[in-house]
């Protein structure tokens, strides 16, 4: 996807309603839209979390006075689950207790809190247990596709769980023999069930891709939902990039 098209799409995804509208009007896979929306929401929430938390006393007072948690989140354009976490910490509910509550809503004794957290989970596509599970399934789906691709080529490899005891940084697949891809022999492959825009790629380069090159040599990263093709993504020397469509066509 070219950068201009991606930027327009990214800027258009500002709410759940935008996600549903674009899903109906644009010829894009609904999971691609969800991936881009998720990346945008997570970035904004990470950037603003402590700014919102600075107002926790006022937010908690408003909730105590009857403003629902979901409404507080809407007022501040903030993920409902994270807003609830911030407010309920003032009720001496630990983070561990909070996530346990979200995963067992029927066990909450307070009728008001149970009702409000049910609404919070319904509204939050990203941080709710259902949203978290969807992201987990997406990651597992990408790893399964990568495994099937490598097995189809007859290339033996070791997986991340098999490598953890030996290495601090572990790609999804460390190949037993080099794979020629796009004119380069790669020895490891990393699966990313996300969209590779400059921010996402830069984060992966710093945390994973550069260390993989230092440890193992040249490698390949697969962004299953595509990447921005016409800008400099500043990949380190030794890293190639591709997408799910190219992998499928390659067989």
The predicted pLDDT at position 84 comes to: 98
pLDDT tens for each residue of 166-219: 888 899 999 999 999 888 899 999 999 999 999 999 999 999 999 999 999 999
Distances (CA, A) of 51 to 38, 48, 79, 98, 127: 20, 5, 13, 21, 18
Asked if 213 contacts 134 with a C-beta cutoff of 8 angstroms, the reply is no
- Burial (CB count <10 Å: 0-12, 13-18, 19+), residue 57: exposed
The predicted pLDDT at position 94 comes to: 95
The predicted pLDDT at position 87 comes to: 98
Residue whose C-alpha is closest to residue 83's, from 94, 98, 68, 72? 72
Specify the 3-state DSSP secondary structure of 234: coil
Provide the b/e sequence for 129-150 (b: ≥16 CB within 10 Å): eebbebbeebbeebbebbbebb
Q: What is the DSSP-derived secondary structure letter of residue 19?
A: H
- Phi and psi dihedrals of 75, rounded to 5? -60, -30
Instruction: Give the end-to-end CA distance of the chain in Å, rounded to a whole number.
Output: 21
Distances (CA, A) of 44 to 47, 79, 115, 216: 5, 10, 27, 34
| Domains of the chain: residue spans and CATH | 3-129 (no CATH), 138-250 (3.40.1350)
Using alpha carbons only, how large is the chain's radius of gyration in Å? Answer: 21
The predicted pLDDT at position 77 comes to: 94
DSSP 131-186: HHHHHHHHHHHHHHHHHHHHHHTT--EEEHHHHTTT-SS--SEEEEEEEEETTEEE
The predicted pLDDT at position 217 comes to: 95
Asked if 119 contacts 68 with a C-beta cutoff of 8 angstroms, the reply is yes
Question: What CA–CA distance (Å, rounded) separates 75 from 78?
Answer: 8
* Tokens matching residue 230: 């016409």
Residues of the chain below pLDDT 50: none
The predicted pLDDT at position 190 comes to: 97
Please give the model's pTM, rounded to 2 decimal places. Answer: 0.90
The predicted pLDDT at position 205 comes to: 94
Distances (CA, A) of 250 to 152, 229, 236, 246: 11, 18, 24, 6
Distances (CA, A) of 222 to 138, 139, 195: 14, 12, 10
Question: What CA–CA distance (Å, rounded) separates 91 from 194?
Answer: 36
The Cβ-side half-sphere exposure at 214, using a 13 Å CA radius, reads 10
């Amino acid at each position: 996807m070219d950068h201009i098209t991606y930027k327009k799409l990214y800027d258009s995804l500002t709410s759940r309603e935008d996600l549903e509208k674009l899903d109906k009007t644009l010829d894009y896979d609904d999971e691609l839209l969800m991936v881009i929306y998720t990346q945008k929401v997570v970035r904004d929430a990470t950037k603003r979390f402590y700014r919102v938390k600075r107002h926790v006393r006022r937010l908690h007072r408003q909730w105590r006075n009857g403003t629902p948690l979901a409404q507080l989140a809407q007022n501040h354009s903030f993920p409902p689950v994270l807003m609830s976490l911030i407010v309920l910490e003032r009720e001496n509910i630990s983070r561990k207790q909070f996530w346990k509550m979200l995963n067992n809503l029927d066990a909450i004794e307070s009728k008001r809190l149970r009702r409000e957290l049910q609404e919070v989970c319904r509204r939050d596509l990203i941080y709710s247990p259902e949203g978290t599970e969807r992201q987990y399934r997406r990651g597992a789906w990408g790893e399964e596709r990568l495994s099937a691709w490598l097995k189809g080529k007859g290339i033996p490899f070791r997986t991340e769980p098999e490598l953890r005891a030996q290495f601090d940084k572990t790609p999804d697949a460390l190949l037993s023999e080099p794979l020629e891809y796009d004119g380069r022999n790669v020895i490891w492959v990393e699966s990313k069930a996300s969209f590779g825009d400059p921010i996402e790629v830069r984060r992966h380069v710093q945390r994973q891709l550069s260390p993989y090159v230092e440890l193992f040599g040249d490698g390949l990263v697969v962004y299953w939902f595509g990447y921005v093709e016409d800008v400099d993504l500043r990949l380190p020397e030794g890293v190639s990039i591709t997408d799910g469509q190219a992998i499928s066509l390659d067989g």
